[in-house]
Structure 1
């Protein structure tokens, strides 16, 4: 029987409400990982699972220290236990996609890391967490999942870390991969996922994560954006900036003017878009303003990539190389 490590971090999948009919007013991160396993006895026939509690929080309250703990534990577990088949992480859905993308960029091992959550608390009628967890363990135990990197299993679908995102505030089908769709699916018949033919790119495989992370705010594009917000960020000396541009990642004239007139050192900056799908391509003005397009990454994932670039000490040219390496920039 396969051996898996389950790292519990809290979230709705571990949440509890006052009664079974309450879906919105609940406390996330109440149950521990052991309780989640005990609620799904069918797991005993799938794998031998060790449980560790990394955190027990709403994922909106996840901290960089939790990310560092996850990375260190996964790297250590894979290095110490060649017989370990994979890792499952129970996680709140609000920032699940960011954690998945962070791990995709840092964990260099063909064994699967599978993130799973729930849209309904554990106490709810028809709670989706138990089945999601069962299917996440199915995927993490399967040979088909090897080489895919970090995966997200929700509502029977298997998503890749780069494209998956939460698109709805309610409903068990809240996750999707815009422009590409899921990589596969899982059901009672098995795991339906194409085998990987070659190695994947892990651009920050050897990167050590610090206790103190750089500041990287996200600036949101809208009609007549307040230039003061951008000026405050620049004057505060932030190390990086992500623009959630309108359309295909466009900045307003006012935002461009702030960058043009800024006399200090420029932070590393990426342009994403607020549309929810579609790429952001190079623009002739990017080099003059110190920007780079984020490709298909949404703003929150662009921020994750920018954080790691800053921790690695990269400049704009080196960050462009990483974007090309990840096939996010032509």
Structure 2
């Protein structure tokens, strides 16, 4: 029987409410990983699953320390056990896409790493967590999942880490991949995925994560934005900055003027957009202002990329080359 590692971090999939009809007023991260496995006895016939509790929190409370622990543990597990089929991570949905993208940029191994969560707490009628977990394990054990990088399994759909995002606050079909759609699906027949096209790029495969991480805030674009926000970030000496621009990543005249007037060292800066879908392309003023377009990355994923680029000591040209080469 194949071997699998399950890393639990909490979230709604491990959440509990006072009664089974309550879907919103619950506490995330209550049940441990063993309880999650016990709720899905069918898993016993699929694989020998080792369980570790990395955290048990609402994913809104996830910390850089948790990310570091996940990365270190996955790397160690893959190095120590060449027969390990893959890794499944139970995770809260609020920041699941950020963790998936982080791991995509750091974990250099063809074996699947699959993140899974739930939109309803474990105590709810028709809780979606048990089926999601079963299907995530199916995907992690599938040879068809090899080479696809980090995957997210929710509501029977299999998404890639770069495009997947949470688009709704409620409902089991809250996750989607705008602009591309899911990579495949999983059901009682099996895992339906195309064969991976070839080796994937893992730009930060050799990066060791530190205890102290840089400051990389996100500035949100809106009508008549408060200039003090951007000025405070620059004066604080942030290492990176992500703009959630309006439209196709546009900054306001006030924000552009603040960048033009800044006489200190400019941080690495990316322009994403607040629309939810669609790319951000380069602009003629980007180089003069020290900006780079974030391409298809949403603001939260642009921040993850920027965090790693700063930790790796990248220059603006290196970051530009990576974004330009990304699909």
TM-score (norm 2): 0.99
**Corresponding residue number in structure 2 for 1:315:** 315
1:100 Cα offset (Å): 0.1
**Corresponding residue number in structure 2 for 1:278:** 278
Structure-1 separation of matches of 2:242 and 2:135? 35
Q: Which one is further off, 316-325 or 193-202?
A: 316-325
Is the CA contact (8 Å cut-off) linking 2:295 and 2:324 kept in structure 1?
A: no
**Corresponding residue number in structure 1 for 2:162:** 162
**Corresponding residue number in structure 2 for 1:77:** 77
Is the CA contact (8 Å cut-off) linking 2:93 and 2:166 kept in structure 1?
A: yes
Long gaps (5+) in structure 2: none
Matching of residues 199-238 of structure 1 within 5 Å: 199-238=199-238
Structure-1 separation of matches of 2:300 and 2:10? 20
Long gaps (5+) in structure 1: none
Question: Does the residue aligned with 1:210 lie in a helix, a strand or coil?
Answer: coil
RMSD between superposed Cα atoms in Å: 0.6
Question: Does the residue aligned with 1:98 lie in a helix, a strand or coil?
Answer: helix
Structure 1 segments of 4 or more deviating over 4 A?
none
1:323 Cα offset (Å): 1.7
**Corresponding residue number in structure 2 for 1:10:** 10
How many aligned residue pairs are there? 327
Question: Does the residue aligned with 1:17 lie in a helix, a strand or coil?
Answer: coil
1:144 Cα offset (Å): 0.4
**Corresponding residue number in structure 2 for 1:177:** 177
Structure-1 separation of matches of 2:3 and 2:187? 21
Question: Does the residue aligned with 1:27 lie in a helix, a strand or coil?
Answer: coil
TM-score (norm 1): 0.98
**Corresponding residue number in structure 1 for 2:37:** 37
Is the CA contact (8 Å cut-off) linking 2:100 and 2:151 kept in structure 1?
A: yes
Structure-2 separation of matches of 1:297 and 1:146? 24
Deviation string, structure 1 residues 107-139 (Cα, Å, up to 9, x no partner): 000000000000000000000000000000000
1:324 Cα offset (Å): 2.9
1:194 Cα offset (Å): 0.3
Is the CA contact (8 Å cut-off) linking 1:273 and 1:280 kept in structure 2?
A: yes
Structure-2 separation of matches of 1:226 and 1:127? 43
